[in-house]
Chain A
Amino acid sequence: MPDALRDHAVSNLRYIRETMERASAFTSIPGWGGVAIGVTALVTTAIAEPMTAWNPRRWLAVWLIEAAVAAAIGAASMWQKARRAETRFMSGAARRFFISYFAPLIAGAVLTAAMLRGGALDALPAMWLLLYGAAFVSSGAFSIRVIPMMGVCFMLFGAAAALLPLSVANLLLGAAFGGLHILFGLIIARNYGG
């Protein structure tokens, strides 16, 4: 009987911990929005690829437009999903998620400006992928389990891009922003309600 009592107490404590973890997570991550972002990223990769050789600044402009489009799609689809689930963006879980998500992205924006001024455009794909991945790894602690895994994948692409010239790194941007968004978007849509 002592064993059964102990097991009962341990399982109750585990149940409380798991519930608290679930209740602390921000779950309005838009799967279909991720798929849409992935598709626009693939189109952008194709448009930007020839520019890597003859006009890297124009290549950058194309990707910055894509970033704005992706942000708009992400924000709209997240708002829609949160509205459907009646999740609030100002809840503790959402606040923790967004702070951890935006900190690396703001760093990325500042470094992009600095690298543009210094003419180090070749390093941009690696920096973007590493920081975008870092944003998901850190914010994933307050969200669904698949998010940190997606972040790690982006970081691996970033590490590879750091070793390659811009023309090839641009293809890695496409594979990551396109392929990973579509892949993980489908996983999220299928398992986490759209």
Chain B
Amino acid sequence: MAAKTARRVVETQIPDFDRLIHEKTRLAIVSALAVNASLTFNELKAILKTTDGNVSVHTRKLEEANYLTVKKTFEGRVPRTEYSLTAGGRRALERYLDHMEALIKATRG
């Protein structure tokens, strides 16, 4: 309950807070891409331990926000989707990390 309230407070009270990557799956996608030049759909799915649908939905949202780019190719006959973080996506993650650190500092007793 306290965790849920804390989450709501973070989302509503912090100015310029990025709700898009505050969602856990999207935060994980951005974090994973921050340490890899690119990742395929299946690599992301394995790292996130989630379903095809979940990866599709959240990567699409991040793509719409220009946080990541998608490259679709074929390896033989098998389609291959590869994701990379954009400069905007990397900045968004850095801003998010700054917000979390600021929150820890501000609430230190």
Q: Write the residues of chain A forming the contact surface with B, with a CB cutoff of 8 angstroms.
A: 1-10, 12-13, 15-16, 19-20, 22-24, 27, 85-88, 91-93
User: Quick check: B46 and A9 within 8 Å, CB to CB?
Assistant: no
Residues from chain B with Cβ under 8 Å of A88 in the complex: 40
Q: How large is the interface on B (under 10, 10 to 19, 20 to 34, 35 or more residues)?
A: 20 to 34
* Other-chain contact of A10, B43, B93, B104, B109 (Cβ < 8 Å): B104
Q: Are B10 and A5 in contact (CB under 8 A)?
A: yes
Q: Mark B7-37, 1 if CB is under 8 A from A, else 0.
A: 1011000000000000010011001111111
Residues of B close to A24: CB separation below 8 A:
35-36
B97 at the interface (CB under 8 A from A): yes
A16 and B103 within 8 A (CB): no
- Complex Cα distance, B32 from A12, in Å, reads 14
> Which residues of B lie under 8 Å from residue A20 when comparing CB positions?
31-32, 34-35
Check B100 against A12 for contact (C-beta < 8 Å): yes
Among residues of B, the one whose C-beta sits closest to the C-beta of A193 is B46
* B45, chain A: closest CB distance, angstroms: 9
Q: Is the CB of B24 within 8 A of A15?
A: yes
Q: Which B residues have a C-beta under 8 Å from some C-beta of A?
A: 2-3, 5-7, 9-10, 24, 27-28, 31-37, 39-40, 42-43, 46-48, 80, 93, 97, 100-101, 103-104, 107-109
Chain A contact residues: helix, strand, loop or mixed: helix
Distance in angstroms from A89 CB to nearest chain B CB is 13
Say whether, besides A8-B10, A23-B31, A86 and B40 are in contact (CB < 8 Å).
Answer: yes
Task: Write the chain B residue with the least CB distance to A16.
Answer: B31
In the complex with contacts A7-B6, A8-B6, A87-B43, A2-B35 CB distance below 8 A? no
From known contacts A1-B5, A86-B42, infer whether A23 and B100 are also in contact, taking CB-CB under 8 Å.
Answer: no
Q: Report the minimal beta-carbon distance from A49 to chain B, rounded to whole angstroms.
A: 42
- Which of the listed residues A1, A5, A86 has the most CB atoms from chain B within 10 Å of its own CB? A5
Q: Which residue of B lies closest to A25 (CB)?
A: B47
The answer to whether B40 touches A4, judged by C-beta atoms less than 8 angstroms apart, is: no
A6 near B108 (CB under 8 angstroms)? yes
**B46–A85 contact, CB under 8 A?**
yes
Chain A proximity of B86: nearest CB distance (Å): 17
* Beta-carbon contact of B100 and A9 below 8 Å: yes
Report the 3 A-B pairs with minimum CB-CB distance, sorted nearest first.
Answer: A23-B32, A8-B6, A2-B107
A5 proximity list for chain B (CB < 8 A)? 6, 9-10, 103, 107
Q: Once the chains bind, are A23 and B104 in contact (CB under 8 Å)?
A: no
Q: In whole Å, how far is B85's beta carbon from the nearest beta carbon of chain A?
A: 11
Please, how many angstroms separate the alpha-carbon atoms of A1 and B80 in the complex?
Answer: 46
- Distance in angstroms from B34 CB to nearest chain A CB is 7
In the complex, are the beta carbons of A8 and B7 less than 8 A apart? yes
B3 CB contacts on chain A under 8 angstroms: 4, 7-8
